[in-house]
């Protein structure tokens, strides 16, 4: 069974840092691209970042570029999101998700349960 | 970025009703359109991928159609467990973008 489990969320002051982790199990983690998606309280889903299967290629939403860093450790089956210079608008539940697809058609077929990040003074 | 616009934003319906939700992309995205269901306090769940393919384990009352810029999600006969929020997502252009969501409530 595919499982994704996020951790590392919490309360942090503006300007602070947090590192989120996503532990993967039940599939060949090193074969899949992975995503971070966030959801502010009462709001919709927003793509944050993605990383390819070997970690050599990454992409970020403009709103987090230069502040967040996505990475992965395939030996530990773990995805990370290092979040620096946090702002109040970064407050959200952060989900990791697995990207699957074929012939250029891609979709997020498994999601973690999410971890809440609250940025507040 | 590609804008995804869902309509309606909210919808009241009864058990047994047939419901359709639409999603419009600001540019053509071929059939790179996915639908997710999210219940309160839970992670999103993939329902439909590539506009019309049913994800494994999803009931057949869910169906999707469309191509280019206009897409629909149809629930053939609403069940109590279907009351949730539904999101479309395009995966044709980076960044991936989601619609604003359609909240389906019990009438």
pLDDT in tens, A38-67: 999 999 999 999 999 999 999 999 999 999
Q: Measured between CB atoms, does B64 come within 8 Å of chain A?
A: no
Query: A106 vs B91: CB contact, 8 Å cut-off?
Result: yes
Q: How confident is the model at residue B21 (pLDDT cuts 50, 70, 90)?
A: very high
Closest partner CB to B97 (pick from A47, A59, A95): A47
Mutate to test the interface with B, among A103, A105, A109 (most CBs of B within 10 A): A105
Chain B: nearest CA to A46, how far in angstroms?
7
Residues of A with CB below 8 A from B87's CB? 44-45
What pLDDT shows up at residue A97? 98
Chain B: nearest CA to A60, how far in angstroms?
8
Residues of B with CB below 8 A from A109's CB? 46, 49, 55
What pLDDT shows up at residue A27? 98
Whole-angstrom Cα distance, residue A34 to residue A45? 16
Looking at every residue in chain A, the average pLDDT score rounds to 97
Query: B98 vs A45: CB contact, 8 Å cut-off?
Result: yes
Rounded alpha-carbon distances, angstroms, from residue B13 to B6, B78, B103, B105 = 17, 8, 11, 6
Q: What is the DSSP string of B63-94?
A: EEEEETTEEEEEESS--GGG-SEEEEEE-SSS
The whole-angstrom distance between residue A88's C-alpha and the CA centroid of its chain comes to 18
């Amino acid at each position: 069974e595919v499982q994704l489990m996020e951790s590392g969320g919490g309360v942090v002051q503006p300007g602070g840092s947090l590192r989120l982790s996503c532990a993967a199990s039940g599939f060949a983690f090193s074969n899949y691209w992975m995503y971070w998606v966030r959801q502010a309280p009462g709001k919709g889903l927003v793509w944050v970042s993605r990383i390819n299967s070997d970690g050599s290629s990454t992409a970020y939403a403009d709103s987090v570029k230069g502040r967040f860093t996505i990475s992965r450790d395939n030996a530990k089956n773990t995805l990370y999101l290092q979040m620096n210079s946090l702002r109040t608008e970064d407050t959200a539940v952060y989900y990791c998700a697995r990207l699957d697809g074929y012939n250029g058609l891609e979709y997020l077929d498994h999601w973690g349960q999410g971890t809440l990040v609250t940025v507040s003074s | 970025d590609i804008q995804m616009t869902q309509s309606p934003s909210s919808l009241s319906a009864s058990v047994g009703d047939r419901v359709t939700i639409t999603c419009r992309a600001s540019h053509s995205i071929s059939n790179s359109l996915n639908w997710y269901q999210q219940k309160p306090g839970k992670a999103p769940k993939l329902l439909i991928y590539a506009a019309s393919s049913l994800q494994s384990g999803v009931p057949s009352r869910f169906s999707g159609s469309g191509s280019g810029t206009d897409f629909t999600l149809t629930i053939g006969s609403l069940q109590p467990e279907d009351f949730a929020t539904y999101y479309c997502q395009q995966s044709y252009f980076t960044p991936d973008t989601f619609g604003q969501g359609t909240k389906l409530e019990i009438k």
